[in-house]
Structure 1
Amino acid sequence: MKATRRALLATPLAAPALAQAPWPNRTIRFIVPFAPGGPVEIPARFIAEQLAPILGQAVIVEARPGAGGALGIQAVVQANDPHTLLVTTSAVAVLPALVRDPGFDPLRDLTPITLVTDGAMVILARPDTAIRDLDDLLAQARAAPGRISYGSSGAGSTTHLGGALLCSMAGIELLHVPYRGAAQAVNALYAGDTALMVTGLGEAMPHLREGRLRALAVTSAARVPLLPAVPAAAERVPGYAITIWYAMLGPRGTPPEVVARIAAAVAPLRDGSALAARMAAAGIELLLDGPGPLAARLAREVPRWKQVAAAAGIRAE
């Protein structure tokens, strides 16, 4: 009887000890909510390789595509485990503007860990068109509303919203043509199916270096070092700025000490790493600046994209 009583008394004391096991105590998963081989996998895999020896656990990258990124984000939210983390694009801030119920609230259900990268997009045209620069584009779009088409990597993508934001802020109307990825949008531009396209600077650079496409403007607030002669759209449309950013987040309730440990472990990669060099060659800034800037960006951009979608007539599905 006494032995049984001692066992019963000991049971409640064991549970908290298990709950407080040090992190990490098993394999860490980075969920990338897009198809395998996409650009966000590059920093995700590099960071995973760097973190594994520091944390003393395997770190694996798992693609979980579907619903424009919503399925992978939902998987992290539902796991509710700081061993399952999200490495995603700015889609995490955009989806609530495009999907009536994406299955998550980025401001409520996710814990910011760090911004990973930030990069400009570029507005492209063929060299043989009459649209020579951004002034031409704005003038022709005002003269013929809805007649000039632009391609993007998909409806609701950041490249789509880059064009939609330009239309809203410049008071013009362009015809949006969505494609299933940047490669298809480029092919359509070459074929003359569209007059323009908006894409990430990294995807655009090979075509620009070969002289096969012309850059009309970059979408960052200022000019970028890779294309110093190309104006920022903000030089003609004050206040215009949109970039493609990647970020790492945990589920709601991720302990602050876990966030701090990851952020401190990845911060040294900013300077002199192979990842920093690879990103710089594509015109992309490697940030890794901790949870504060990411939390601030989400707080700005979640409501902003709802406003842009409403102004562009993009309805939540």
Structure 2
Amino acid sequence: MNFKHAFTKVQLALGLTLLTCSATTFAQTYPSNSIRMLVGFPAGGGADLSARLIASGMSKLLGQTIIVENRPGAGGSIAAVAVSKAQPDGYTILLGNTGSLTINPFMTPGQSVQPLRDLEPVALVSTSPLAIVAKNSLPANNLSEFVALAKGAPDKYSFGTGGSGSISHLTIELLKLQTGIKLLHVPYKGGSPAVQDLMANQVDTVIDGVPLTAPLITDGRIKALAVTSKERSSVLPNVPTALESGFPDLVVTVWYGIVVPKGTPAHIINTLNQAVNTALKDPEMQKKFEQQGSLVTGGSPADFEKLLKNELTRWEQAVKVSGAKAQ
């Protein structure tokens, strides 16, 4: 009996050892094939540019291709919902942003993800301000002049955004609330088509990220009225902030971060987090983000989770105060 008991214990110990080795091997083999990074906005926009930058850096470190897949619509919620329903195996990830993860839950609660319930934070990637830009023929050269112009002609001037309920939409709603101006909202499926229509004189103004608008401002194809950061953008040093222009409620920062489906194993989240942080330490990567008007961030999953909680509180209040409605 003693011999059998001892033999059984040896078998159990051997089995546990093999199981541990198998788990370790499994952890070490991720990723074993390509990864899809979904983006909820069209190609060419700020989200798309940021996604392709970080995906290229992560791909080199992980040894697998990260394929950026654009799924525009519903202010980024279509892509976010798709990722929340994907297998939690690390092969479908999302580059989400302020709007898709922390504004949409209050603008379109039945059609959006609840990030703390449906997703797992991996890492914050970058932050950047919005730019309020106008067609060159608009008779206003800064935000104060535009507000004065709009006050004199209610509902005459239009503004294009990346979609109803997007951060650009909500930020303009805050401007309208603060100043009492009345503008015509023209929603698009992302910032890139809105800016294209701005250059074609189809809308009067657009608000979107600095990464998308800065090159066009520099080339003189559109003009900037203001940026929404506390300090001037390094790539647009001659453009005043909304704060400087007398609009303190328009300090808004757009951030981009990577999330995965709820239930994704911790070792996969850690692997992706390490890839993000290592990629962002590359001086060349930092330079590319800075050229687009973005600052790299990085950090732990816990850091990103804290940001999500703070931003959810902020934008829930902003939606209620502004009375903005998704269309």
TM value normalised by structure 2: 0.79
Determine the structure 1 residue equivalent to 2:145.
Answer: 136
What is the total number of aligned residue pairs between the two structures?
309
Structure 2 runs not aligned, ≥5 long: 1-7
Residues 31 and 72, structure 1, Cα contact 8 Å, conserved in 2: no
Deviations 1:68-99 (A, max 9, x none): 33333233322233443222233222221222
Q: CA deviation at 1:186?
A: 3.0
Letter in 2 for 1:158: I
**Alignment partners' CA distance in 2, 1:294 and 1:15:** 35
Q: Are 1:29 and 2:31 matched, yes or no?
A: no
Q: Is the 8 A contact 2:171 2:250 kept in 1?
A: no
What amino acid is the match of 1:149?
S
Shift of 1:135: 1.6
Does residue 1:265 correspond to 2:275, yes or no?
A: yes
Q: Which residue of 1 is the match for residue 77 of structure 2?
A: 70
Greater Cα shift, 304-313 or 234-243: 304-313
Q: Distance in 2 between matches of 1:287 and 1:208?
A: 25
**Pairing 1:243–2:253 present:** yes
Q: Report Cα offsets for 1:11-40 as digits up to 9, x if no partner.
A: x97997667742526336233133673443
| Contact 1:30–1:44, Cα closer than 8 Å, also in 2 | no
CA distances 1:264-305 after superposition (whole Å, capped 9, x unpaired):
333233344433222211111122223244222211222433
CA change 1:193–1:311 in 2 (3 A) is: farther
For 2:110 and 2:158, locate their aligned partners in 1 and report how far apart those are by CA, in whole Å: 30
Identify the match of residue 168 of structure 2 among 149, 159, 183: 159
Structure 1: distance between partners of 2:49 and 2:220:
26
1:87 aligns with 2:95: yes
Distance in 2 (CA, whole Å) between partners of 1:272 and 1:86 is 22
Assess, with a 3 A threshold, how the Cα gap between structure 1 residues 163 and 15 changes in structure 2: closer, same or farther. Answer: farther
Q: Pick from 226, 233, 242 the counterpart of residue 217 of structure 1.
A: 226
- Distance in 1 separating the partners of 2:222 and 2:197: 12
List aligned pairs for 1:182-221, cutoff 5 A.
182-221=191-230
Across the aligned residues of Structure 1 and Structure 2, the Cα RMSD in angstroms comes to 3.3
Task: Say whether the 8 Å CA contact 1:70–1:95 is kept in structure 2.
Answer: yes
Distance 1:158 1:148 in 2: 20
Change (3 A) 1:184 1:141: same
Do the aligned residues in 2 keep the contact of 1:168 with 1:308 (CA within 8 Å)?
A: no
Alignment of 1:296-311 (within 5 A): 296-311=306-321
Taking structure 1 as reference, are residues 44 and 165 closer, same or farther at Cα in structure 2, changes over 3 Å only? Answer: same
The alpha-carbon distance between structure 1 residues 263 and 191, as it changes in their structure 2 partners (threshold 3 A), is closer
Residues 61 and 275, structure 2, Cα contact 8 Å, conserved in 1: yes
Q: Percent of aligned pairs with the same residue? A: 29
Please tell me whether residue 283 in structure 1 is matched to residue 290 in structure 2.
no
Relative to structure 1, the CA distance from residue 19 to residue 251 in structure 2 (aligned partners, 3 Å threshold; closer, same or farther) is farther
Q: Distance in 1 between matches of 2:123 and 2:288?
A: 19
8 Å CA contact 1:169, 1:240 repeated in 2: no
CA distance in 2, matches of 1:46, 1:124: 24
Q: Does 1:120 align with 2:129?
A: yes
Q: Which amino acid aligns with 1:251?
A: P
Is the CA contact 1:35–1:63 (under 8 Å) kept in the aligned structure 2? no
1:153 and 1:53, CA in 2 relative to 1: closer, same or farther beyond 3 A?
Answer: closer
**Unaligned regions of 5+ residues in structure 1, if any?**
1-5
Question: Structure 1's 22 and 190: CA in aligned 2 closer, same or farther, altered over 3 A?
Answer: closer
Question: 2:102 touches 2:312 (CA, 8 Å); kept in 1?
Answer: yes
- Kindly report which structure 2 residues correspond to 1:39-78, keeping only aligned pairs within 5 A, or say none: 39=45, 40-52=47-59, 54-55=61-62, 58-63=64-69, 65=71, 67-68=73-74, 69-78=76-85
Counterpart Cα distance in 2 of 1:122 and 1:169:
18
After superposition, the Cα gap between the structure-2 partners of 1:107 and 1:172, relative to the gap in structure 1 and judged at 3 Å, is farther
Are residues 141 and 311 of structure 1, via their aligned partners in 2, closer, same or farther at CA, if it must alter by over 3 Å?
farther
Rounded to whole Å, the distance in 2 between the matches of 1:71 and 1:177 is 20
3-state SS of 2:254 partner = strand
Measured at CA, do residues 287 and 230 of structure 1 come closer, stay the same or move farther in structure 2, by a change above 3 Å?
A: same
Rounded Cα–Cα distance in structure 1 between residues aligned with 2:81 and 2:199:
37
SS at match of 1:245: strand
Aligned partners of 1:267 and 1:108: how far apart in 2?
A: 24
